[in-house]
Amino acid sequence: MKVDSRRFYAEKMGEIVSDRLDKSFVDLMNYDFTARMEQKLDQIAEGDAAWTNV
């Protein structure tokens, strides 16, 4: 990652790592999965859900 004029740009190694993560951890890199997991974690933090159910 490099910064130029207050903008972030991925470097080649970052692109390689991102591609490998996408292929190896499909669920974790999926935006919908991540959003649902964040909602569940919020429910646990608020006491509305048990962590054992997640």
pTM: 0.56
As beta bridge partners, residue 44 has none
Q: How far is CA 38 from CA 18, 30, 51, in A?
A: 21, 12, 12
Alpha helices in the chain (DSSP H): 12-24, 31-45
Residue (of 27, 1, 30) closest to 14 by Cα position: 1
Instruction: Output the pLDDT for position 53.
Output: 80
Per-residue pLDDT of the chain (54 residues; tens, 9 = 90+): 788 888 888 899 989 999 999 999 998 889 999 999 999 999 999 999 998 887
Q: Which DSSP state fits 51?
A: G
Instruction: Output the pLDDT for position 54.
Output: 77
Q: Which two tokens stand for residue 53?
A: 């159910």
